Structures are given as structure tokens and as C-alpha cells.
């Protein structure tokens, strides 16, 4: 996969150095052989908390080093347990008379290396306790359960009680209680890819893996890609069955495993809020990336069964910014929308000629929608046609509500419609044009001049002018022709000439074209200008 790195073998070392621009953190001086991140302000008077494991799960574990959470994090290479020497070095560096608690995720390498380091530390006279976290319930009770994102709950709550001066036995007891009352399960579209090369995807496009391991290990089962409400229901029901306690209250961590977009994570949170499990959930942590798996496109739910003691530890404030404060689970609140002025406040009046012209213009925008979208896709985001077509459909639907016998009021009504019904900058600009035209028409009742005056207001706010490759290149020559009492035919010809001129404009400071490489613009007319010209050309045909 493409990555923003120098060399794969240097990534962990360089990532840790990047983290250490935070002046509250430090590293042991045998770095990088010993990759230990620790508090810069630690005085060893309280129980130290040490955790860690393979890198690639950032912000875990080093991101949780700080007051109220971990004292030190021992970092291995990507998905590789740190060495015994590294763990032992961390213990010795931070442990005073109060002792040290090692928090270990339930993987063979971590259990062995952290366990042996603990034994060696004890032999050297250090007080060391261990807690092993095995929160992944995906594979069932008969399999050694893996330690995944639920480990962060242990960091948080044990860290709080260590910070307020609890002794080692008390902190270890609380940590074990958190571990025993935490259950996690993950869902993913893809396994993660290593920095050393792309591996063949295990999952098909229409498949999701339930219980995928955070190192890319196969999950419990492959299931069909379903709407997220259904996928969340499947995952949540497994956690419900695990606890099987209708009276329990829970805290839930919604964890991004790598590359799920923020908007999708919010959809996942919304889907969770609709589950039976959510009715027993008091607090939500996230959605956020707390324990990732490189670029895995997946998420996990970690559920903590609360007691009063665990709730207190969960809600305490801490220093590490990687921790996302738990918030009460609530349903979306609403506040009464301020009463806006009526969209169409004027008395309905009829004028068949005006109605015919508006209908022709609107139908043209609707007819050319796909053509303009395709043209816009070459130099923009492909929605220019859709914007005008959407407003046109609304105008046609509400044509019988317009004050068609009053030109000023009609112009203002169309401006109001663009303001509320059209998206993007083009909708706002067209609203300014029509409202400006309405104001001018009231003083100088001549349509061509009013439209030209409205265009000047648009130019004032938008900044673009003729030659900047926008719809103005078509509208200004057309409106000038109408203001000078030329015919609609002459206006359409002038508009076409302006539109064709945009094919030669490859550098501009305004409009969407200002973001596009010059070589992609040459020979392609501006989509907005093309749309305006087609409307005028079709109007010529309809008015013959």
C-alpha cells in the first residue's frame, strides 16, 4: 500500500519521536533498541502502570501515557511484542516503593515477554502485579480470548485509582475487575495491510468479517454485507448474550480500527443507539480511533459492565489527549427552529406569458442535467446540472404559487427559492442575482437592465468577472444585449460566444476551475456557462 513513510524498518522509531514533541513525555535513552515512552514528570511515589505491545495500534499504547492513565508504554515493532529487556527496562524506570501493574493483552508473545519481565523484576526486588485482558468474545468462551480495544478501559480506570494513591493490590484488583467485566467484538470490510507489501484481500466486496483480529487474523465468521443497522444488531446481540444481565448498566467504546471515515463512524454510533443494548448503556466513548489496526476498514464495540467504582474511574478527567471523555448516551436533542419568513410571501397572480417562459427555462435545466453533470465531472465535482435541475423542479411544482403578474415580486420569489432550495455556491450566487434584479427593477422597471444590475451584485459578492471561466462569461454578454434592447436571439448568440471563450481560459483565481490543473481545462467550456447558454438557445426555439 502507499504510505507516508521513509523506510518500513524506521517507522516505529520515527513515529515515537513524532509523538515525543509533547513535552510531557520522554523515552528511555537506549532507544531505539528499547522503545519505551514514559511520563516526563513521574516521581515513583504512586503505583506505576505499564502496558504496551506491538505497534500499529496507535494511539494505543503510547498515546495513553500521561497523568491519570499509563506511566509507561513499551512499544514493539509493527504487530510484534516488545522484548523482555524492553519491558523490564520500563518496569525499572518507573517503579518505586508503591510497585507496578503490568497490563497485558492476551496474545502469546505479550504474555510471555511481559510475564518473564515481571518475574525478572520481582527477582530484582520490585513489587509487580499483572492483569491480562481478554475482552474479544468473537471466538466464543472455548477459545483463548484476545485482548483488543477493551484494554483501554483498563488503562483508564486503573490509571485513575493509581493516580489518587490506591496501593498496588487495590489497583490490580480494580484492573482485573474491569477486564473481567469488558467484552468486545469487531466488524471489518478488510483486513489490514502491512507497510512491507500488499497482500491479497481475504474478503469479497459483498462480505464482512465478524470478529476480525487486530493483527488481521481471521475472525469468527464471514457474513454478508448488510445495512449497518443490521450489522450492529448482530454484534450487539452477541455482547448482550455474553453478559445476559437485563439489569446491568454499561459503558460502550465505539472504536475505529483504522480507515472508517468519520461520517461512517457517526452512522455506526447512530445504529448502535437503536439496539437493545443501547437501552442499558449509560455512557459512550467515541466514536474514535483508540486502538487501531493500521489501515483496517473496520470498527469494534467494547462494552464495560459498570459498578459505582468503575463508573467513577471512567468519568475522571485525564491528561492524555488520545483518550476521548465518556459522554452520557442520549438521543438527538432538538431546538425549535426560528420562524423564517415565508418562502413565497406575495399574493398569487397569473400571467400566462411569464409562466410559459419560466416553464421553458425550468424544463431546459431539467433536460440538460445529465449533460451538464458530465461536463462538470471533467473540471469539477459533477453536480452543476443537478443543482439547477433540483431548483427547476421545485419552481415548476410551485409555479401556481408565484406572483407572475408582478415582475419585481417574481424575481424576488425566484431569488428566495434559490436561496433555500439550491445547494453550493451557485445557488447562493443565483439568489443574489435575482434579489439584486428585483431591487433594481422596482426603481428602474426594465428587465434586461435589472438582470444586469443583479449580475453586478453577484460579481461583487462572488469576486469573479468575465474571463474568469464562470457562468458570468455567458450571463454578462446576454444581459448586456437585453439591457440594450437587443432580441433574445442576439442575447443567446452573445451568450454562446462567451461560453466558447471559456474553452481557452486555463488559469483563473475564481470558481471551481481555480482548483483544477491548467492542462485539464483547455478545450472544455465552463459547465455553468454552458448551462446558461443552452437555456437561452432553447428559449429562442420555444419563442419562435
Are 317 and 380 part of one and the same domain? no
Cα separation, 481 vs 7, in Å, equals 63
Tell me the residue range of the domain where 67 lies: 8-328
**Residues 6+ away with beta carbon under 8 Å from 446:** 483
Final residue of a structural domain among 328, 361, 384: 328
The answer on 282 and 397 residing in a single domain is no
Q: What is the rounded (10 degree) CA torsion for 41, 43, 49, 55? A: 40
Query: Is residue 342, in this structure, part of any structural domain at all?
Result: no
d(CA 515, CA 116): 58
CA 386 from centroid of its chain's CA atoms: 25
CATH at residue 392: 1.25.40.340
Domain co-membership, 442 together with 521: yes
Q: Is residue 334 part of a domain?
A: no
Residues 70 and 219 reside in one and the same domain: yes
What pLDDT score was predicted for residue 341?
A: 82
- 393 and 298 in one domain? no
- Residue/partner pairs of 461-465 with CB below 8 Å, 24 or more apart: 461/429, 461/432, 462/425, 462/429, 462/432, 462/510, 463/509, 463/510, 464/508, 464/510, 464/511, 465/510
Burial letters 71-103, b for 16+ CB under 10 A, else e: bbbbbbbbbbbbbbebbbbbbebbbeebbbbbb
Q: What is the largest CA-CA distance in the chain?
A: 101
Tell me which residues are annotated as active site: 215
Q: Coil, strand, or helix at residue 272?
A: helix
Q: Could you tell me if 374 and 300 lie in one domain?
A: no
Same domain, 159 and 62: yes
Same domain, 519 and 391: yes
According to DSSP, the residues that pair with 510 across neighbouring strands are none
234 and 139 in one domain? yes
- Tens place of pLDDT for every residue, the chain, 544 residues? 688 989 989 999 999 999 998 778 999 999 999 999 999 999 899 999 999 999 999 999 999 999 999 999 999 999 999 999 999 999 999 999 999 999 999 999 999 999 999 999 999 999 999 999 999 998 876 666 899 999 999 999 999 999 999 999 999 999 999 999 999 999 999 888 888 776 777 888 889 999 878 887 877 889 999 999 999 999 999 999 999 999 999 999 999 999 999 999 999 999 999 999 999 999 999 999 999 999 999 999 999 999 999 999 999 999 999 999 999 998 888 899 888 788 899 999 999 999 999 999 999 999 999 999 998 888 777 788 898 999 999 999 999 999 999 999 999 999 999 998 886 788 899 999 999 999 999 888 999 999 999 999 999 998 899 998 899 999 999 999 999 999 999 999 999 999 999 988 766 655 555 555 556 667 888 999 999 999 999 999 998 7
Q: What is the pTM of this model?
A: 0.77
DSSP one-letter code for 194: B
The answer to whether position 346 is within a domain reads no
State whether 371 and 225 are in the same domain.
Answer: no
The partner residues of 511 in beta bridges, in order of sequence, read: none
Is 521 among the domain residues? yes
Q: Which positions ≥6 away from 387 have C-beta within 8 Å? A: 422, 423, 424, 426, 427
Angle (CA) 359 361 367, round 5°: 95
Question: Which of these three, 328, 344, 374, is where a domain ends?
Answer: 328
Specify the CATH number for the domain of residue 89: 3.40.50.10440
Domain assignment present for residue 496? The answer is yes
Instruction: Evaluate whether residue 502 is within a structural domain.
Output: yes
Would 483 be classed as within a structural domain? yes
323 lies in the same domain as 361: no
What span, in angstroms and rounded, lies between the C-alpha atoms of 316 and 329? 17
Q: What is the pLDDT of residue 434?
A: 96
Same-domain check for residues 154 and 298: yes
Total domains present in the chain: 2
CB 107 within 8 A of CB 139: no
Return the exposure string of 200-223: e unless at least 16 CB atoms fall within 10 Å of the residue's CB, then b.
eeebeeeebbbbbbbbbeebbeee
Amino acid at each position: 500500500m502507499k504510505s507516508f513513510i521513509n523506510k518500513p524498518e524506521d517507522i516505529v522509531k520515527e513515529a515515537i519521536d513524532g509523538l515525543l514533541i509533547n513535552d510531557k513525555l520522554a523515552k528511555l535513552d537506549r532507544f531505539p533498541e528499547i522503545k519505551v515512552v514514559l511520563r516526563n514528570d513521574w516521581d515513583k511515589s504512586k503505583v506505576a502502570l505499564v502496558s504496551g505491545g506491538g505497534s500499529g495500534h496507535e494511539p494505543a499504547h503510547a498515546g495513553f501515557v500521561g497523568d491519570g492513565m499509563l506511566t509507561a508504554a513499551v512499544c514493539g515493532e509493527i504487530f510484534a511484542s516488545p522484548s523482555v529487556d524492553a519491558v523490564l527496562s520500563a518496569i525499572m524506570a518507573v517503579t518505586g516503593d508503591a510497585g507496578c501493574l503490568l497490563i497485558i493483552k492476551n496474545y502469546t508473545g505479550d504474555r510471555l515477554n511481559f510475564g518473564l519481565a515481571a518475574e525478572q523484576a520481582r527477582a530484582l526486588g520490585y513489587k509487580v502485579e499483572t492483569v491480562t485482558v481478554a475482552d474479544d468474545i468473537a471466538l466464543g468462551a472455548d477459545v483463548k480470548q484476545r485482548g483488543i480495544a477493551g484494554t483501554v478501559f483498563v488503562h483508564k480506570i486503573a490509571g485513575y485509582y493509581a493516580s489518587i494513591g490506591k496501593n498496588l493490590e487495590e489497583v490490580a484488583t480494580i484492573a482485573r475487575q474491569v477486564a473481567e467485566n469488558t467484552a468486545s467484538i469487531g466488524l471489518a470490510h478488510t483486513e489490514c495491510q502491512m507497510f512491507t507489501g500488499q497482500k491479497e484481500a481475504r474478503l469479497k466486496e459483498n462480505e464482512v468479517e465478524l470478529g476480525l483480529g487486530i493483527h488481521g487474523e481471521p475472525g469468527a465468521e464471514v457474513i454478508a454485507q448488510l445495512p449497518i443497522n443490521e450489522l450492529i444488531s448482530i454484534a450487539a446481540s452477541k455482547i448482550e448474550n455474553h453478559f445476559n444481565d437485563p439489569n446491568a448498566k454499561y459503558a460502550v467504546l465505539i472504536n475505529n480500527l483504522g480507515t472508517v471515515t468519520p461520517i461512517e463512524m457517526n452512522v455506526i454510533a447512530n445504529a448502535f443507539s437503536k439496539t437493545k443494548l443501547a437501552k442499558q448503556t449509560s455512557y459512550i466513548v467515541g466514536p474514535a480511533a483508540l486502538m487501531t489496526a493500521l489501515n483496517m476498514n473496520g470498527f469494534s464495540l467494547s462494552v464495560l459492565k459498570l459498578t459505582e467504582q468503575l463508573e467513577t474511574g471512567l468519568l475522571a478527567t485525564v491528561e492524555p489527549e488520545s483518550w476521548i471523555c465518556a459522554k452520557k448516551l442520549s438521543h438527538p436533542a432538538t431546538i425549535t427552529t426560528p420562524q423564517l419568513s415565508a418562502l413565497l410571501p406575495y399574493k398569487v397572480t397569473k400571467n400566462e406569458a411569464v409562466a410559459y417562459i419560466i416553464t421553458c427555462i425550468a424544463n431546459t435545466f431539467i433536460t440538460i442535467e445529465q449533460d451538464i453533470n458530465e461536463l462538470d465531472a471533467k473540471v469539477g465535482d459533477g453536480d452543476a446540472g443537478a443543482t439547477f435541475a433540483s431548483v427547476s423542479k421545485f419552481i415548476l411544482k410551485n409555479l401556481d404559487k408565484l406572483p407572475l403578474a408582478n415582475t419585481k415580486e417574481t424575481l424576488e420569489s425566484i431569488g428566495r427559492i434559490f436561496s433555500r432550495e439550491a445547494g453550493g455556491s451557485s445557488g447562493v450566487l443565483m439568489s443574489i442575482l435575482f434579489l439584486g434584479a428585483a431591487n433594481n427593477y422596482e426603481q428602474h422597471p426594465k428587465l434586461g437592465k435589472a438582470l444586469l444590475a443583479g449580475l453586478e451584485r453577484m460579481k461583487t459578492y462572488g469576486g469573479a468577472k468575465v474571463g474568469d471561466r464562470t457562468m458570468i462569461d455567458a450571463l454578462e454578454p446576454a444581459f448586456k444585449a437585453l439591457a440594450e434592447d437587443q432580441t433574445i436571439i442576439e442575447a443567446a448568440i452573445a451568450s454562446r460566444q462567451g461560453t466558447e471563450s471559456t474553452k481557452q481560459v486555463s488559469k483563473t483565481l475564481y470558481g471551481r476551475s481555480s482548483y483544477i490543473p491548467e492542462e485539464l481545462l483547455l478545450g472544455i467550456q465552463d459547465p455553468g456557462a454552458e448551462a446558461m447558454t443552452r437555456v437561452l438557445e432553447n428559449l429562442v426555439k420555444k419563442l419562435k
